[in-house]
Amino acid sequence: MRTGQTQLFVPGPTNMPEAVRQAMNVPMQDMRAPDFGGLTIGILDDLKKIFRTETGRVMMFPGSGSGAWEAAITNTLNPGDKVLMARHGQFSALWVEMAERLGLDVEVIDVTWGAGCPAQKFSRRLGADTKDEIKAVFVTHNETATGVTSDVAAIRRALDESFHDALLFVDAVSSLASIEFRMDDWGVDLAVTGSQKGLMLPAGLGILAVSDKAMTASETATMRRAYFEFSDMLRMNETGYFPYTPPTQLLHGMRKSLDRILFEEGLDNVIARHHRLAEGVRRGVAAWGLDLVAESHRVHSDTVTAIRVPEGVDARDVIRIAYEEFNTSFGSGLGELNGKVFRIGHLGDMNEAMCLTALSVAEMALAKAGAQMRFGSGVGAAQNWYARVEVSETSSEAPQPARLTIAAE
């Protein structure tokens, strides 16, 4: 029999604030009522602040981040268009697969799983494209499978320095409202996300932010689409309504979530909190002597940490033991990382105590799966970071008062 609450440390769906859950506990309502539009218009306006765009248009399609991917592609590109993409993790690979299925001519640059989007290789390829055959560049901002965050601004610089006019698509599914994202400053044309990550809601909304340049492209794009038609959505959104039935409960939850992010905690503080929590987890993993999938500190993700298990240990056992014996969910290794990696998600409604719980359970699960562990090592390293103090060690068996000194960051 399970008691207590099952701990959720996957990189999505994320932990949801109780206030957001309660905000969704409303009766069904008429989505054509005269006062319904005010709810939607306010949400769309505040989502622009999350994307950090003043000129972009935001849309919410009932669906998922994958639905938002498809909407972005089908509304702005034509069958046979050449696009440039990198494949460096499970989700960037899935985006490549979707683009190919939709009839695009996909040029893929494969890089090691653990690396970021290869800005220099993109720059060379764009510079060589003197006829502007490449119509779009796709960047996975945060590769959830590997715990890697790519430099979107560097890709924009590559486009600008090549005087290239390709659209810039960005998958911000596991980064938006958790990691710094600046649509206007980075010249992003289409940014996609889902409701179940940094926005701290259940899955069910695919969200896009679309630049003026991308909106212009949508006027002549010839890909087939129906449900995901931008013009239908925007025409109805003007007055706060939808061309089909919206998930009204999710909209009420979104309103509360945006209030928390923008007006209660503050977006800059949310981003700083995610970095602080992620760094504690990374220091804990380092204290275990284990490696991350991310190949450099420059690409460390602040929303998910992908951890390589020791030789002879199956990561699937770590995940199973954590769930079955300690009521805790960790993310699994995806694709080529299956069995080699487990992931700790630390985004959404998270705090220091929750991250310490994740590290504590991971230590027990790793030990029971056969890893050599010193209990408390990872937890202690993270505690030192979160408390910003160092506790002196003593060889005496008698209890000694702790000597606290401020730890250098």
Helix 152-161 to helix 119-128 angle (10° resolution) is 20
Q: Given this model, what pLDDT does residue 135 score?
A: 98
User: Residue 1's pLDDT is what?
Assistant: 73
Model pLDDT, residue 394: 43
Q: What are the structural domains of the chain? A: 7-11+266-406 (3.90.1150.10), 18-264 (3.40.640.10)
57-62 sheet: strands from edge to edge: 57-62, 205-210, 190-194, 167-171, 134-140, 82-87, 105-110
pTM to 2 decimals?
0.93
Which of these, 5, 10, 2, 16, lies nearest to 329 by C-alpha position? 10
User: What is the pLDDT, as a whole number, of residue 390?
Assistant: 59
pLDDT of residue 3: 87
Spatial contact of 348 and 195, defined as CB atoms under 8 Å apart: no
Q: What is the pLDDT of residue 326?
A: 97
Over residues 255-269, the pLDDT tens digits come to 999 999 999 999 999
Q: Number of H helices and number of E strands within the chain?
A: 13, 15
- Dihedrals phi, psi of 54, to nearest 5 degrees: -100, -30
User: What pLDDT is attached to residue 399?
Assistant: 38
Rounded Cα distance, 88 and 99, in Å: 16
The stretches in the chain having pLDDT less than 50 are 393-409
Cα R_g (the chain), whole angstroms: 22
CA dihedral over 50, 196, 228, 101, signed as positive or negative: positive
